[in-house]
Amino acid sequence: MDISNELAIGIDIGGTNTKYGVVNHRGQILEKGEIATEDYPEIGSFINALHTKLDPLISSLKKENVQGIGIGAPNGNYYTGTIEYAPNLKWKGIIPLAKLISEKFELPAALTNDANAAAVGEMTYGAARGMKDFIMITLGTGVGSGIVANGQLILGHDGFAGELGHTIIIPGGRIHEGTGMRGSLEAYASATGVTKTAVELLEKNSGKESLLKKYSGKINSKIVYECAMKNDKLAKKVYEYTGKILGQALANFIMFSSPEAIILFGGLTRAGDMIMNPTREHMEKNLLPIFQNKVKLVFSELVESDAAILGASALVWEMRSE
């Protein structure tokens, strides 16, 4: 069969929405759409809804061209094909998602967590093309990570490797509401973390002027971003502090797997140099000399809304090469 006709379906399951797309080998999304994850508290009805949307697309593109379905989902486990106890999804316990989808669609299906899917997408179509060793850090509502070494995803013995957002950067530091742990990276370098830092800095600097003041009680990461873009000193300090913690964490990650690059992805990266500069500074400062000025720290090259679909679809090509 002509490889250029081959297609893969990518599905990105989030707490709010599920996005899907049909992707070719060049990473072009030929068709896409979405359904509201929240509308389907029962997994069977969710899969039926997906099938109703995707089946006509698959038929119109000729089913024999579709090689399989790749899925990225919170707490998705590649080895078992299950979603296990995902806090942001309504389906509780252990869901055998890859099996359910494979049976319904009569196509091979592979599942991994959303950050691993993003890493595969970046390796196949984005900033990590040609790299064998890199780390993908997703900075969104939470902090996720996908680690590639020797050209392979690091999944660990149980499929749960790469929870870098939960590593402790400041022992005894800020509490993480979701896990109850103190000082984890996610408590600082996520949207929630940025909001908390802004509130803390406002309290400490009550005598100083800041645009943030008029949002007292309803500050969120979007407001911090907007104020920083208006050159508000305190809002910019929020990014400096966030970058400092993130940079310290990245230095530790580098001394673990010595990647060629670290790729930052997600909402926080919109802050551009405001977050990149302090992150790079504190990353370099905390590295042994043999690691300094070697690791590329870059933003993702993929459009955020497409990246998760591309990453999930790329799992299908990975499946084939095993």
Closest CA to 243 of 205, 283, 211, 191: 283
Residue 255 makes contact with a copy of itself by CB under 8 A: yes
Which one of 18-26, 108-116, 244-252, 306-314 is the stretch in contact with a copy of itself (CB under 8 A)?
244-252
Within 68-107, the residues that bind a copy of itself by CB under 8 A are 84-85
| Sole binder of a copy of itself in the list 62, 230, 294, 320 (CB under 8 A) | 294
Here the contacts of 225-228 (C-beta below 8 Å, separation 24 or greater) are: 225/270, 225/271, 228/271, 228/274
| Sole binder of a copy of itself in the list 179, 208, 273, 305 (CB under 8 A) | 179
Kindly state the smallest distance separating residue 99's Cβ from a copy of itself, in Å: 21
Closer to a copy of itself by Cβ: residue 28 or 152: 152
- What DSSP character marks residue 129? T
Closer to a copy of itself by Cβ: residue 232 or 284: 284
Which one of 27-35, 93-101, 127-135, 263-271 is the stretch in contact with a copy of itself (CB under 8 A)?
127-135
Q: Which residue is listed with tokens 């797997």? A: 257
Closer to a copy of itself by Cβ: residue 24 or 167: 167
Residue 150 makes contact with a copy of itself by CB under 8 A: yes
Distance of CA 170 to the CA centre of its chain: 22
Closer to a copy of itself by Cβ: residue 202 or 262: 262
* CA distances to 6, 19, 54, 296 from 306, in Å: 19, 9, 17, 23
Residue 156 makes contact with a copy of itself by CB under 8 A: yes
Reading the block at residue 139, the tokens are: 């900075």
Closer to a copy of itself by Cβ: residue 183 or 267: 183
Q: Which residues contact 184 (CB under 8 A, 6 or more apart)?
A: 165, 166, 167, 168, 169, 176
Kindly state the smallest distance separating residue 21's Cβ from a copy of itself, in Å: 29
Kindly state the smallest distance separating residue 153's Cβ from a copy of itself, in Å: 9
CA-to-CA distance for 54 and 64, rounded, in angstroms? 15
* CA distances to 91, 250, 290 from 284, in Å: 42, 9, 11
Kindly state the smallest distance separating residue 283's Cβ from a copy of itself, in Å: 12
CA-to-CA distance for 6 and 241, rounded, in angstroms? 46
Residue 240 makes contact with a copy of itself by CB under 8 A: no
Residue 147 makes contact with a copy of itself by CB under 8 A: yes
Range list of H helices, 40-180: 43-60, 97-105, 114-125
CA-to-CA distance for 86 and 16, rounded, in angstroms? 13
Residue 288 makes contact with a copy of itself by CB under 8 A: yes
Residues at the interface with a copy of itself (CB under 8 A):
84-85, 131-133, 147, 149-150, 152, 154-164, 166-171, 179, 181, 248, 251-253, 255-260, 286, 288, 290-291, 294
